[in-house]
Structure 1
Amino acid sequence: MNIVDIRNAITKCPIEYSAHCFKRMLERGITRANVIECINNGEIIEDYPLQVENKSAESFPSCLILGMRVADNTQIHVVVGYNGYKLLIISVYYPDLEHWSEDYKTRRK
């Protein structure tokens, strides 16, 4: 999966938000515009290829994107699934230093 394909899909494909994601967005004050902004200025920091044994009609290869809300320079993580026809926003959150290194790209053990 690459970030260019995901960015291109934003304007060409339907975008669906999981119920979990939408609930967390409301709780955390993250808007749909923030999600798109994060994808457009972010980078893939983890890739989650589709596992053949778990493949189903609703399965998507996915990735974790680290991006930024430009208005206040806040780092955001977005988990995005993409199957070539649809983007699925799976989760969105603010990374914290308890779980992530200072660059928010590496998980702490």
Structure 2
Amino acid sequence: MRLIYRQHAVRRMFERSISTDDVAAALADGRVIEDYPTDTPYPSCLWLGYSNGKPLHIVFADNQDDDERIVITVYRPDPVLWADDFATRKPS
């Protein structure tokens, strides 16, 4: 599956010093922690993976017809908002 980066993702990755290698590492070994089945034009999800031992959240959508994974945004989860597992949101 080919990775496509939205402009928003590229901008945020630059601002947050997250590389495409970081994204690839996190996508290679991680899991879906939230599904967004009603997103358009494609259902998307929130993925938790790790790069260099640091957690990384990636929101992406899969375009099955064109064999593309569209990266929408990427960020390091904030421990104030996420439990120690970085997969569970803390109550607000």
Output the TM-score relative to the length of structure 2: 0.88
Aligned to 1:21: 9
Q: Which amino acid aligns with 1:66?
A: L
| Distance of 1:62 and 1:36 partners within structure 2 | 17
Instruction: After TM superposition, list the pairs within 5 Å mapping 1:86-101 onto structure 2.
Output: 86-101=68-83
AA in 2 matched with 1:79: V
Deviation (angstroms), 1:50: 2.9
Distance 1:83 1:50, change over 3 A: farther
1:49 corresponds in structure 2 to 37
Higher helix share: 1
1:63 aligns with 2:51: no
Residue equivalent to 1:3:
none
State the distance in 2 between where 1:43 and 1:87 align. 15
Q: How far 1:62 sits from its partner (Å)?
A: 0.8
Gaps of 5+ in 1: 1-8
Name the counterpart of 2:22. 34
The structure whose residues are more often strand, as a share, is: 2
Q: How far did residue 99 of structure 1 move?
A: 1.0
Structure of larger gyration radius: 1
TM-score after normalising by structure 1? 0.76
Runs (5+) with no aligned partner, structure 2: none
